[in-house]
Amino acid sequence: MAFFEGKQMTAGYGDGPDIISSCTINANRGEIVAILGPNGAGKSTAMKAMLGLLNLKSGNVILDGKDISSASPQDRVKYGISFVPQTRNVFAELTVRENLEIGGFLRTDGVQKMIDSIYELFPILGEKKSQVVGQLSGGQRQQVALGRALMSEPSVLMLDEPTAGVSPIVMDELFEHIVKVKKTDVAIIMVEQNAKQALNISDRGYVLVTGQNKFEGSGDELLNDPEVRRSFLGG
């Protein structure tokens, strides 16, 4: 059984129609899993359901063999699930260091050691530690966002379009960082629009269409699958 798994999830917003139905996504530690699909396929919704930001109508979410379907998002943070939203994913008015301190808010053993290891992972953050995050570039902000999420030493990291709105060069850099994070034995689930690049660094991928699993497989399998290529990767 996978370390973190959303099983047969069905969910929607409020009383509206189901956005995802019987959708299953899982990830193991030290693995990058990409969720792909066209606009409106329910990628972000699937991720929100796994985070507890949406109530499941059916199905369940399991972390390390424990059913956490009814836990609040805050409790899931405590259990080791960390999330980087697509927008507004940093505290723009706070300094880099303060962002990291807040990321480690629930730590009881002090934050200094973890902050040092984040600076090691993202050297630029160490250089700019007393700068207000609102003044940083897009790529640097995304590193702050990743750093903040890693401060709680999560076992699962969920990223909602980490490369949205950054230049191709920064995008490559960010993907490199994500691979570095994966090597620290974290399960990473990310929703991505840049499907090709995302699959290149992913161990596995899911393609969702209208809220259901359409294809799944290793990154290479999906990249080479003619049908996936035709419909999502642009030939």
Partner 1 sequence: MDILNALMVLVNFTVIPALAYGSQLALGAIFVTLIYAVLRFANFATGDMMSFGTMFAVLLTYYFQSKGLNFGVLPTALLTIPFAIFMMIAYMLLIDKFVFKYYRIKKSPPVQFAMVSVGVMFVTQAIIRIIIGPTDRRFLDGEKFILKATEFKEMTGLNEGITLKSTQAITIVITLIVVSIMFWFLNKTKTGTSMRAYSDNEDLALLSGIDPKRVVMITWVIAGILATIGGVLYGLDKSYRPFVYFNNMLPIFAAAIVGGIGNPYGAFFGGYVIAFAEIFLTYSYKKFLQYLLPENLSPDTMVQALSTDYKFAISFSILVIVLLIRPSGIFKGKVI
Residues within the interface to partner 1 (CB under 8 A): 73-74, 77-78, 82-83, 85, 88-94, 98, 101-103, 105-106, 148, 152
Smallest distance, partner 1 to C-beta of residue 53, A? 9
Smallest distance, partner 1 to C-beta of residue 110, A? 10
For 189, phi then psi, to 5°, come to -120, 125
Smallest distance, partner 1 to C-beta of residue 165, A? 17
3-class DSSP state of 159: strand
In sequence order, the 6+-apart residues with CB closer than 8 A to the CB of 234 are: none
62 - beta bridge partners?
Answer: 5, 67
Smallest distance, partner 1 to C-beta of residue 105, A? 5
Length of the chain (residues): 235
110/235 with CB nearer partner 1: 110
3-class DSSP state of 202: coil
160/192 with CB nearer partner 1: 160
81/195 with CB nearer partner 1: 81
89/163 with CB nearer partner 1: 89
Measure Cα distances from 96 to 59, 113, 129, 139, 203 in Å: 38, 15, 5, 13, 31
Give the single-character DSSP code of 137: -
188/199 with CB nearer partner 1: 188
For 193: left if phi > 0, alpha if psi spans -120 to 50, otherwise beta; the answer is alpha
Smallest distance, partner 1 to C-beta of residue 218, A? 30
CA atoms within 13 Å, Cβ hemisphere of 69: 14
